[in-house]
Amino acid sequence: MPAKPLPTAELHLHIEGTLEPELAFALAERNGVTLPYATTDELRRAYSFSDLQSFLDLYYALMAVLRTEDDFAELADGYLARAAAQGVRHAEIFFDPQAHTARGVPIGVVIEGLGRALDRSEERHGISTRLIMCFLRDESAESALETFEAARPHLRRIHGVGLDSAEVGNPPSKFREVFQRAAEAGLHRVAHAGEEGPAEYITEALDVLGVERIDHGLRCLEDAALVERLARERVPLTVCPLSNVRLRCVDTLAEHPLPKMIDAGLLVTVNSDDPAYFGGYVADNFGAVKDALGLDHETLRMLAANSFKAAFLDEQTRAGYLAEVAAHRFG
C-alpha cells in the first residue's frame, strides 16, 4: 500500500494557477472561446518561462475560458480533489478578481462560484478552506479600492486580502489605503514580496500594509537585519520551490535557499503557487525539495507543522492538524 501523504496546509495557491490544460480546453469549448493552441500538448509546450512576467502573460490569457459560476466552481473543486490526494488538509486560496472583472465577468460570479466549491470542500475532500482576495499590484491603487468596494456584498466569503502580479516597480506602499480598509473590515492581510522585488518591499509590506505573512520572501536573505527580524517576529514565509525554479528566481532546485532559510530560524512553509504551470502540487514540491536538497523526515515534518502554525485557523482546529502531523508515519 502506498504511504499516506504528509498532512499539510497550502497557504500560497492561486486558484487560476490550477487551471490544467484539459480543463482549459473543455471550458473553451463550452464557452465558445478560441485558444491560440491546437492541443493540450501544444499548450504545455508553452510553459517555458524566462521570468515572472512571461508566466503572467500566459496565465492571464488563459483565464479567458473562465466565464460562469459553474466554471469557477469546477476549477476550485478540481484543485481540491487533487490537493486532497496530496495530503492537503487546509487550503487558503488566492484569487485575482481584477483579472476577471477586466474581461466583463462580474465579481459576484467569481466569488460565489469559488464559494460554492469551498462550501462542499470539507464534506467532499476533507479540506478546510479560506478565500484570500488578491489585488494586482501592476494595476492602480484606485482599481484595488474599486475592487474592494465591489467585493463588499460578498465579504462573508472572504477571509483576507493579498497582493500579487508583477512586483518590480510596484511597491507595497502603493496599496496602503486598500489594506487599511481591509484591516478595518476585520480581514487578514498577506502580500507577495521579495520574489523578484527587493528586500525593502518585504519591510514595506510589514510596516505599511501590516501583513501577517509574506508570500515568497526569498530576497530577505539579502538583508541580514531583516532576516533577524522575520525570525524574531515569527513572520511566516510561504515559499514555492518549483515556482522559484520555473520563474528563474533560483537557477536549480539544488541551489534553492530553503535550507538557509530554515537554518536562519525563519518560519518557512512549502507551497505550490500555480501548480498547473510549474510542474506540481504540494506533495510534488515536498518530494522535489526532499530529493534535491536532501531534507530528512523530521525537517519535512517541521515544514508541515509550520504550515498549520502559519494558517488562519482557530487554536483548536490548529491543534488537531498539528497532532495529525506529529502522528504521521513516513513510508
Q: Which residues are annotated as a binding site?
A: 12, 14, 192, 273-274
Site for ligand ADE in 79-118 (CB under 6 A): none
Distance CA 163, CA 212 (A): 12
| 206 vs 276 by CB, closer to ligand ADE | 276
Binding residues for substrate: 274
Q: 45: helix, coil or strand? A: helix
# residues contacting Zn ion (CB under 5 A)? 1
Distance CA 268, CA 257 (A): 11
Q: Near Zn ion by CB under 5 A, which window of 69-77, 178-186, 225-233, 273-281?
A: 273-281
Least Å distance between CB 166 and Zn ion? Answer: 12
Least Å distance between CB 170 and ligand ADE? Answer: 10
Say if residues 103 and 72 touch (Cβ distance below 8 Å): no
The one among 273, 281, 305, 310 contacting Zn ion by CB under 5 A: 273
The active-site residue out of 92, 139, 195, 196 is 195
Site for ligand ADE in 156-175 (CB under 6 A): 164-165
The beta strand positions in the chain, using DSSP E, are 8-14, 88-95, 128-136, 160-164, 188-193, 213-216, 236-239, 267-270
98-131 residues labelled b (16+ CB within 10 A) or e (exposed): bbbbeeebebebbbbbbbbbbeebeeebebbbbb
Q: Check residue 74 for interaction with ligand ADE (CB under 6 A).
A: no
Which residue matches cell numbers 490526494? 85
| 7 vs 17 by CB, closer to ligand ADE | 17
Q: Which does 52 bind (CB under 5 to 8 A by kind): ligand ADE, Zn ion, none?
A: ligand ADE
14 CB-contact burial (10 Å; exposed 0-12 / middle 13-18 / buried 19+): buried
# residues contacting ligand ADE (CB under 6 A)? 11
Residue 228 annotated to the active site: no
Residue (of 273, 125, 266) closest to 202 by Cα position: 266
Residues forming beta bridges with residue 133, ordered by sequence position:
95, 161
| 25 vs 59 by CB, closer to ligand ADE | 59
Site for ligand ADE in 269-328 (CB under 6 A): 273-274
Residue (of 115, 34, 35) closest to 69 by Cα position: 115
Amino acid present at 5 = P
Say if residues 130 and 141 touch (Cβ distance below 8 Å): no
| 25 vs 179 by CB, closer to Zn ion | 179
Least Å distance between CB 22 and ligand ADE? Answer: 20
Q: Which does 67 bind (CB under 5 to 8 A by kind): Zn ion, ligand ADE, none?
A: none
Task: Please report, as ranges, the residues that interact with ligand ADE according to CB under 6 A.
Answer: 14, 17, 52, 59, 164-165, 192, 195, 243, 273-274
List active site positions: 195
Task: Please report, as ranges, the residues that interact with Zn ion according to CB under 5 A.
Answer: 273
